[in-house]
Structure 1
Amino acid sequence: MTSLPGGAGSTHRTPVDLADRLLDIKRIYHEPDIERLPRARAVLDRFPDAERIEVLSHQAIPGLYGNEGNVEDWVRIKQEVLVLGEKKSLSARRNERSSDWIAPSTANGCAMACSYCYVPRRKGYANPITVFANIEKITGYLERHAARQGAKPEPNQCDPVDWVYDIGENSDCSADAVVSDNVRDLVDLFGRIPNAKASFATKLVNRDLLTYDPRGGTRVRFSLMPAEMSRLVDVRTSKMSDRIAALDDFVEAGYEVHLNLSPVIVHENWLADWTELLDQIADNTNDRTKRQLAAEIIFLTHNEGLHEVNLGWHPKGEDVLWRPDLQQLKRSQNGQWNVRYKSPWKGRWVQQLTDLVATRLPDCRIRYAF
């Protein structure tokens, strides 16, 4: 099958300057007195030419959040705007799917613009990176929380030994690491906590993370989908070939590496495309990487409101995301209407893909699929 540049046996390539490609920060919205925090000062120093605008709260920025007129500037806002604030409420929320706990965020929002992302549904029309600068309080809380848990009493699908904390529920940590050292601090923290590990999914290859020292305490879940589909809906992300080429290097650097096979978007040739992708993973990873692989499989869930927003900035993506002939409505817990693939078709498709993984990538166990 197809070999990818930088695959098994490759040497590290010179990193692309991700900050120049993703960000051209012109405005930084910040909460009052944010400069008293060292992390905030470091971020401001990183973008010295940006206009600074004080706001009462990172959650309520006039003209930015909830402004329907921002749809046309969707990508530009992600590239040019940054928000600095404090995380006021610190709590770890039970999860039990991708992780045991959802850690309090050290950032939210994203510089990338995947058209199926659920986060903009909450924030409304604009979703730039928000950095929480009180990192010491967040890491201190996490260290105390993990200590209170003690040893994990029994294995579960999250991990057989460690408590797993998702540190990137509402952001992509690889992009966050371009802006601040919050991610480095989290990787350092979980490298020394004896009973816990961090976990985050990413669509960006940030090779600066290879200079960190994770000591097995951080799980990176590389999000993968067939390359042609990714080019359509994974806006401003790393190429699929670059993500696959990074798998061996992250294992070598001391990370646990898993696969986030999502979202699975069904179309007429979807299974053939996934066959090619799985063969590319198999052909471009070494045995050490394959032995520790695990995957989660998540089929697309879309949203009526997000569909309407996307029509304003990326209508071509909606040709594959919004398929009333394949999807059915389901009301979510918050009262919004979501669309998911119809039953019982979806059940058959989930089984087809899990069988395909077992055939094409037999060392990779499936943690869950839905």
Structure 2
Amino acid sequence: MVPLCVASGNDRCLRQRGDDRLPGGNSLHAHPRTGDHLHTPGRPTPDAHHPRRCCTRRAPHPLDPQARPGHPIRRRAPARPADHRALPGRRRRGHPTPDRRPPPQPDRRHAPCHLRAGQVDARRRRRPAVQAQAPAHPAERGLARRPRRGCPAHCQYCYLAGSLTGPPITRTYANLDDVLGGIAPAVGQGSVTSGTDARGHEGTTFEVSCYTDPLGLEHLTGSLAAAITHVGTADLGGPAQLRFTTKFADVAPLLDLPHHGRTRVRFSVNAASVERFEGGTARMPDRIAALRSLALAGYPVGLTIAPIMPVDGWRQEYADLLDAVAAATDDVPGLDLTAELITHRFTPRSKEVLLDWYPRTKLEMDEDLRRQKRGKYGAVKHVYPARVMHELRSWFDVALAERLPAARSLYWT
């Protein structure tokens, strides 16, 4: 049974069989994929879905300003299998809520949290199982798998924040068979690894962490294990590899899977001073220990050193990081280790979203200290000046070769 939250004290609530029609021919019904009770024109409520809990906010009845707040709902609650809970605050159409959230924007990709009872965001459409991407860095310009969207971590520097506008909601898709079924037809269509001399042995790579950290939700969904098993055992018609990046460390459910070396797990790591911007994630020593466990289980592994920042003492801090990884992987037989290096950057939109999410952040996002760069389609991003970028890259080129010679560097950006 799914709880139903009603945002006003009027008649748009608690409809069941025999009382499911709303004024104007509208009704409440259960969303076919999520089970949420939604309000759409001309659809009766299915008998199998009834709200169990009804929550109201203190707002006058629209037709009777003298009525007690929430009175129509409280009057109906005892006669139906639902319990009534009043929520604090006022919410009237056209007036801001107490936390002063802005009204819905037409370009939002998520249904705003403050929609009224039963309203549906018409912009929420089912996404295709496979989508061509143009993500932030070159290794992901291919085909992406999206079993989830939205991240459980709270990284104050998240470059993708501009792509995840609206409430910070984590969405997971239940049609996993459809998602995985799109892999085989797409094998051979990638543009980064397929057909290249340097990385052709990897086959077509499929990224599952474009817009989320899949390991952070694995204990709830199990979809990552299902994807690894599918790619490791299915006949896909050609060489293919699954890839994902994570800041979490609970890898125990993945160790015994039949991956057959077709899934590369990259761990996002950084200097100690930068780690304070990563809320809700595993600590750096735990991530390095998890990388070692997966490497010993035969997985290809990788480092995503990102976002690189020239903080005070950055040379020593990043040297300590590389030394810790070297010590953890020194005795791993047949180690397959890659490195991807990404400097910190932000867009006007991502800065706006991040400052809204984390208004007290100490992260430096000053356009006057950055160089403006334009992407393939003209999008503006703010990166470090050329002198700083050259200094950072020169140091990492030498440090990787000296401290972690087993690592194969894929790109710098």
TM-score after normalising by structure 2:
0.65
Question: Does residue 142 of structure 2 align to residue 101 of structure 1?
Answer: yes
Deviation at 1:169, TM superposition (A): 0.7
Three-state SS of the structure 2 residue aligned to 1:301 is coil
Q: In 1, are the aligned partners of 2:112 and 2:167 still within 8 Å (CA)?
A: no
Q: In 2, are the aligned partners of 1:120 and 1:127 still within 8 Å (CA)?
A: no
Q: How does 1:18-167 map to 2 (within 5 A)?
A: 32-34=31-33, 59-63=109-113, 87-93=126-132, 97-99=138-140, 101-146=142-187, 152-157=194-199, 160-167=201-208
Q: How does 1:1-370 map to 2 (within 5 A)?
A: 32-34=31-33, 59-63=109-113, 87-93=126-132, 97-99=138-140, 101-146=142-187, 152-157=194-199, 160-192=201-233, 193=236, 195-207=239-251, 208-230=253-275, 232-288=276-332, 291-315=335-359, 317=361, 319-324=362-367, 326-332=369-375, 337-370=380-413
In structure 2, the CA distance between the partners of 1:314 and 1:152, relative to structure 1 (3 Å rule), is: closer
In structure 2, the CA distance between the partners of 1:63 and 1:154, relative to structure 1 (3 Å rule), is: closer
Q: In 1, are the aligned partners of 2:188 and 2:194 still within 8 Å (CA)?
A: no
**Cα distance in structure 1, aligned partners of 2:328 and 2:206:** 29
Deviation at 1:27, TM superposition (A): 8.8
**Cα distance in structure 2, aligned partners of 1:121 and 1:325:** 20
**Cα distance in structure 2, aligned partners of 1:253 and 1:325:** 47
**Cα distance in structure 2, aligned partners of 1:109 and 1:61:** 13
Q: Which has the higher helix share?
A: 1
Deviation at 1:296, TM superposition (A): 0.6
Q: In 1, are the aligned partners of 2:248 and 2:281 still within 8 Å (CA)?
A: yes
In structure 2, the CA distance between the partners of 1:325 and 1:196, relative to structure 1 (3 Å rule), is: same
Q: In 1, are the aligned partners of 2:245 and 2:266 still within 8 Å (CA)?
A: yes
In structure 2, the CA distance between the partners of 1:113 and 1:148, relative to structure 1 (3 Å rule), is: closer
How big is each residue's C-alpha offset from its partner over 1:38-70, in whole Å with a ceiling of 9 and x where there is no partner? xxxxxxxxxxx9999xxxxx94423369xxxxx
Q: Which amino acid aligns with 2:277?
A: V
User: 2:89 corresponds to which residue?
Assistant: none
**Cα distance in structure 2, aligned partners of 1:123 and 1:99:** 17
Deviation at 1:148, TM superposition (A): 7.4
In structure 2, the CA distance between the partners of 1:123 and 1:291, relative to structure 1 (3 Å rule), is: closer
In structure 2, the CA distance between the partners of 1:243 and 1:51, relative to structure 1 (3 Å rule), is: farther
Q: How many residues align?
A: 305
Q: In 2, are the aligned partners of 1:267 and 1:320 still within 8 Å (CA)?
A: no
Three-state SS of the structure 2 residue aligned to 1:144 is helix
Deviation at 1:340, TM superposition (A): 0.5
Q: Which amino acid aligns with 1:195?
A: P
Q: Which amino acid aligns with 1:108?
A: R
RMSD: 3.4
How big is each residue's C-alpha offset from its partner over 1:289-345, in whole Å with a ceiling of 9 and x where there is no partner? 68411101010111333334433453554x343245642233456665421001133
**Cα distance in structure 2, aligned partners of 1:289 and 1:116:** 35
Deviation at 1:233, TM superposition (A): 1.0
Three-state SS of the structure 2 residue aligned to 1:170 is coil
In structure 2, the CA distance between the partners of 1:277 and 1:147, relative to structure 1 (3 Å rule), is: closer
In structure 2, the CA distance between the partners of 1:209 and 1:294, relative to structure 1 (3 Å rule), is: same
Q: In 2, are the aligned partners of 1:248 and 1:289 still within 8 Å (CA)?
A: no
How big is each residue's C-alpha offset from its partner over 1:133-163, in whole Å with a ceiling of 9 and x where there is no partner? 11111111112222778x9544334x53422
Deviation at 1:260, TM superposition (A): 0.5
**Cα distance in structure 2, aligned partners of 1:253 and 1:51:** 49
| CA radius of gyration, larger in | 2
Question: Unaligned regions of 5+ residues in structure 1, if any?
Answer: 1-25, 37-48, 53-57, 66-84
**Cα distance in structure 2, aligned partners of 1:236 and 1:27:** 28
Three-state SS of the structure 2 residue aligned to 1:302 is coil
In structure 2, the CA distance between the partners of 1:310 and 1:190, relative to structure 1 (3 Å rule), is: same
Q: Which amino acid aligns with 1:292?
A: D
User: 2:99 corresponds to which residue?
Assistant: none
**Cα distance in structure 2, aligned partners of 1:250 and 1:141:** 27
**Cα distance in structure 1, aligned partners of 2:30 and 2:311:** 45
Q: In 1, are the aligned partners of 2:130 and 2:179 still within 8 Å (CA)?
A: no
How big is each residue's C-alpha offset from its partner over 1:97-116, in whole Å with a ceiling of 9 and x where there is no partner? 32562323111101111111
Q: In 2, are the aligned partners of 1:110 and 1:172 still within 8 Å (CA)?
A: yes
Three-state SS of the structure 2 residue aligned to 1:160 is helix
TM-score after normalising by structure 1:
0.72
**Cα distance in structure 1, aligned partners of 2:211 and 2:311:** 28
Q: Which amino acid aligns with 2:280?
A: R
Deviation at 1:170, TM superposition (A): 0.8
In structure 2, the CA distance between the partners of 1:305 and 1:206, relative to structure 1 (3 Å rule), is: same
